[in-house]
Structure 1
Amino acid sequence: MLTLTHIADTHLGHRQYGLKQREDDMVSTTRAAFQEMIEERGTDAILLPGDLFHSRDLRPKILHQVEQELERIPDEVPVLVSRGNHDENLTPRDVTWLNYLHQRGHIVFLKAELNADPETAWFNPYDPDEPGQSAGFYDIDVADLDRPIRVFGLQWRGAKTGQALQQVANGIQETNEMHGEPAWTVLLAHFGIEDEVPTLGGTVTHGELRELKDVVDYLALGHIHKRYESGGWIYNPGSPEAHNTREGRAEWEHGYYSVTLDIGGADAGSDTSEFEVEHYPTKRRPYYRIEFEVTAHESPGDLETAFQEHVKDVQADMTEYCSQDAFMARGEPRAPIIDLRFTGTLQFSRGDLRTDELAAWVEDACDALHVQVNTGIRTANVQQLISEIDEDEVFKDGQLNTAALEHRVFETVAKESIYDDSAADVADVLGNAHQMAQADEAVEDIRDAVSSARQELFPELADDVVLDIEEDPFADAETDEETSGDTARGDADAETEGVVEE
């Protein structure tokens, strides 16, 4: 028997919501999974198809932690890694941290050479004496078996994945003709499959995998953070940790696979070896959703009282949910991340709904690590605007004047916020940002335009911005794309309901 374990999307270094504890979670959850794989599953190799890191620009402390964790793994257990979109984008650097870990002997970095031949990928064999910066395939030698288990790697290719898959299928066939047929073949790759997890991007069709199936027995996928399987040969384990509130839902399974091969079947020369796959949940931090319907409450005070009673009513269920084995750390439940959602029609001014104060109360009452607020509400005024909108204003010569309509909506929304006194100006800013987005202008340019307008309209608010940075002896310059949006306890309406660029 031979056992392989398959984990993906560890995203080490991800300081989710700007919290150091979440950065630590990424490491501790991965450490616990590796420990289980070695001590309980008895793995012969660890497969990791992409997004080992959350960013290609690592702080020294993260790299140091990763090296420490990899050094805990016995030398006889290779860690086979391919590149994900977070490890490196499509304009790769000459040397990445995956190359570094490969050269240090911590991992075997597997990638396909795709540029030399547009039809066929080239795979270099791994040579432990001269490892180079990467390899194309790794042979796992098995006692009493004259053929190896062969593992190939395909790096993230984005929109070019379909073309790369054809090259890889041809390349695997050519490699096997050159180096001998393996007993069993694994491909590490980082992409999603259309229709397996609806509404998520970065996918290929089943048709594009047809020729690959002829030369691959086990397709070890990463990229989509939810577990799924297909066809008895395609497996995606789900990320060890959830990376947004959608991924934190109970129906999103997270963990790793243990793959046990029947070596006897392979030795007998059958076309495919018999193998069994079992999924194990990772020990991760729980997300718990609290929903509150605002429609029935006529004043902020009534809403606050009812809201607090509602939270108290669900606390027992939350405690039971967070006490599941998958959420336990050293025998104790982990403090949850709470997905706090307000729905319905608000009967009073939007500016009087102090979601930041309500979230702070929830964090304290529920001993939560973080409260992420999402609002799906509309105010009674906005609802009335929609029903009473003046056709003469928004229709011109029988055509919808979308700019006028947008301005009315944006102005009404602004009046329901702290920007009431400058509602028309705020509506202009929102309208401009919307036009820039429709023109596919860069996100950075849109953000800069909104930021500049905010400073011009509300210079006094800039004085309230304080950066509280914890001293870290390993720290260097760092930009965390989530810090600006996710650390605020306010209305995080913009939190992506898909996977964090999986």
Structure 2
Amino acid sequence: MACSTCTFLHLADVHLGYDRYDSPERSKDFFLAFRDVVRRYAIQDPVDFVLIAGDLFEHRQIQPGVLNQAQIVLRELQQAGIPVLAIEGNHDNRPYGVKTSWLRYLADHGELILLEPEAGEEGLELRPWAGGRGGYLDLPCGVRVIGSQWYGSAAPRSIEQLAAAIRRLPPGPERVVLMFHHGLEGQIARYQGALRYKDLLPLREAGVGYLALGHIHKSYSEGGWIFNPGSLEANSTAEWDFQRGAYRVRWGDGPPQAELVQDYHQRPRRRLYLEAKGRETPEQIAAAAIALAKGSRFQESEMEPMVELRLVGQVGFAKHELDSRALQCQIQQLTGALLVLFRFEANTLELGSAALSLEEEGQRLQIEEKIYRDLLSSHAHYRKRSEELARLLLDLKEKVLDGQGESEVYAHLRGAFDAPHRCREWGAED
């Protein structure tokens, strides 16, 4: 017999109370994003339930205004008759030695359903939700939702225990959702402790058909059953380019169909790059930054944008010699930005001077050519042409430093390899 279609909204990493940059307006963005996405995709187009897969709050200890923000949105859902099921993430879980958390407070006051496994004789134990506590809940739409906690480095072992606990559950709906706050490897760089796909397979084998993840602030899905929506807002400039949003899921007879929705309140962002060549003074860099901001077109928006200015390349002065604070203020006034963030990523040249003498420049080129030649000579394919290839590499480097585009550099490189005999002699066929 075909089961009815169930619809739900999967959120994670809301981070209410975000306070980086000491900007009340920026903190408010996180509340407005939460409220807007719920109104648009859960209330105006009603869903059966809403999931929050960890990190509703930015901090374990929150201010009254932040609690009020959560209650405003949760009460709107309550008035619409839409249950909210949540788990704790690493940001909002209870501190060590403390028996409660703000999520538990909201659950005790009936504003959300906090699903938590318990410690039992056989490892983790899942009890049916009742009286405000429990590890799983069978919903009228024909879906079983199971909760978990933040396990940190113990996640792989906890997955085995969760899978065993799921197998011990009494018969219920065939469609099973598990909320789990952890990340999958290969999604973002420099993330330690990510889970491998095979680490999650015991959950699949135990019957989980939709694994609702959180923790990583970038949206991704894997295998048709693992889904992570990403954070609603960017928590840092490093996350500006991440795809993010919420999953609006329809689940009928077949596999779950998850659509990433992104049309809700989000602060506009713009990144500017200024490349220093090493010969400019701090005053010239500041003037160039102002000119860059003036020449950049900002999309019209009701909201003030966030602007990031990155100084890259090489400079011949110390970082403190550039009055970055004054520069930020000038760009803010010029662009009408909410915040201007300055990133000094340029390398500082030694000797306190950006200009090299002709003799020094010649010595540098000789040294670089020798290094390239030695490296090429160590490879059997390139040994015969090491001198010619070394000069080619130097030439390509200079073109890049002179600001030539990728197409021009590629055309030059392609021209160097056009002759068939060169391809054979240089080992390109290998």
> Residue type of the partner of 2:91?
H
Bigger relative contact order, structure 1 or 2, given CA contacts below 8 A and separation 6+?
A: 1
Partner of residue 367 from structure 1, selected from 336, 361, 371: 336
> Is the contact between residue 15 and residue 58 of structure 2 (CA under 8 Å) also seen in structure 1?
yes
Query: For 1:310 and 1:213, how far apart are their aligned partners in 2?
Result: 52
Residue 224 of structure 2 corresponds to 232
- Per the normalisation by structure 1, the TM-score is 0.66
- Cα distance change of structure 1 residues 109 and 352 upon mapping to structure 2, 3 Å threshold: same
Partner of residue 124 from structure 1, selected from 119, 122, 127: 127
> Residue type of the partner of 1:123?
L
> Residue type of the partner of 1:125?
P
3-state DSSP class of the match of 1:192? Answer: coil
* Aligned-pair CA distance for 1:336: 1.5
* Aligned-pair CA distance for 1:216: 0.3
Say whether residues 1:213 and 2:209 are aligned partners.
no
Q: Write out aligned runs for 1:118-197 (5 A).
A: 120-127=123-130, 130-131=131-132, 134-142=133-141, 148-175=142-169, 178=170, 180-197=171-188
Deviates more, 1:296-305 or 1:22-31: 296-305
Q: Deviations over 1:456-496 (max 9, x none)?
A: xxxxxxxxxxxxxxxxxxxxxxxxxxxxxxxxxxxxxxxxx
* Aligned-pair CA distance for 1:88: 1.5
> Is the contact between residue 43 and residue 77 of structure 1 (CA under 8 Å) also seen in structure 2?
yes
Q: Write out aligned runs for 1:88-99 (5 A).
A: 88=93, 91=96, 93-99=98-104
Q: Deviations over 1:289-324 (max 9, x none)?
A: 11111225432332222222122122x1xx23xx5x
Query: For 2:352 and 2:114, how far apart are their aligned partners in 1?
Result: 55
Q: What fraction of aligned residue pairs are identical, expressed as a percent?
A: 30
* Aligned-pair CA distance for 1:382: 6.3
Residue 283 of structure 1 corresponds to 265
Residue 240 of structure 2 corresponds to 248
3-state DSSP class of the match of 1:166? Answer: helix
Residue 75 of structure 2 corresponds to 71
Residue 24 of structure 1 corresponds to 28
> Residue type of the partner of 1:280?
V
Partner of residue 106 from structure 1, selected from 98, 103, 111: 111
* Aligned-pair CA distance for 1:204: 1.0
Question: Gapped runs of 5+ residues in structure 2?
Answer: 361-430
> Is the contact between residue 13 and residue 56 of structure 2 (CA under 8 Å) also seen in structure 1?
yes
- Cα distance change of structure 1 residues 160 and 63 upon mapping to structure 2, 3 Å threshold: same
Q: Write out aligned runs for 1:261-276 (5 A).
A: 261-262=251-252, 265=253, 273-276=254-257
Bigger-Rg structure (1/2): 2
> Is the contact between residue 49 and residue 188 of structure 1 (CA under 8 Å) also seen in structure 2?
yes
Query: For 1:229 and 1:302, how far apart are their aligned partners in 2?
Result: 47
3-state DSSP class of the match of 1:242? Answer: coil
> Residue type of the partner of 1:9?
D
Partner of residue 54 from structure 2, selected from 26, 50, 57: 50
Residue 342 of structure 1 corresponds to 311
Partner of residue 303 from structure 1, selected from 282, 285, 293: 285
Query: For 1:194 and 1:124, how far apart are their aligned partners in 2?
Result: 31
Query: For 2:351 and 2:183, how far apart are their aligned partners in 1?
Result: 39
Query: For 2:222 and 2:69, how far apart are their aligned partners in 1?
Result: 35
Residue 89 of structure 2 corresponds to 84
> Is the contact between residue 41 and residue 258 of structure 1 (CA under 8 Å) also seen in structure 2?
no
> Is the contact between residue 112 and residue 121 of structure 1 (CA under 8 Å) also seen in structure 2?
yes
Q: Deviations over 1:420-462 (max 9, x none)?
A: xxxxxxxxxxxxxxxxxxxxxxxxxxxxxxxxxxxxxxxxxxx
Say whether residues 1:356 and 2:325 are aligned partners.
yes
> Is the contact between residue 3 and residue 41 of structure 1 (CA under 8 Å) also seen in structure 2?
no
Query: For 2:67 and 2:231, how far apart are their aligned partners in 1?
Result: 20
Query: For 2:211 and 2:38, how far apart are their aligned partners in 1?
Result: 20
> Residue type of the partner of 1:108?
I
> Residue type of the partner of 1:342?
L
* Aligned-pair CA distance for 1:69: 1.9
3-state DSSP class of the match of 2:273? Answer: strand
Residue 398 of structure 1 corresponds to none
> Is the contact between residue 90 and residue 157 of structure 1 (CA under 8 Å) also seen in structure 2?
no
RMSD of equivalent CA atoms: 2.1
- Cα distance change of structure 1 residues 4 and 346 upon mapping to structure 2, 3 Å threshold: same
Question: Gapped runs of 5+ residues in structure 1?
Answer: 143-147, 266-272, 324-331, 389-502
- Cα distance change of structure 1 residues 363 and 277 upon mapping to structure 2, 3 Å threshold: same
> Residue type of the partner of 1:256?
A
Partner of residue 294 from structure 1, selected from 276, 287, 297: 276
Query: For 1:170 and 1:254, how far apart are their aligned partners in 2?
Result: 32
* Aligned-pair CA distance for 1:384: 8.2
- Cα distance change of structure 1 residues 160 and 297 upon mapping to structure 2, 3 Å threshold: same
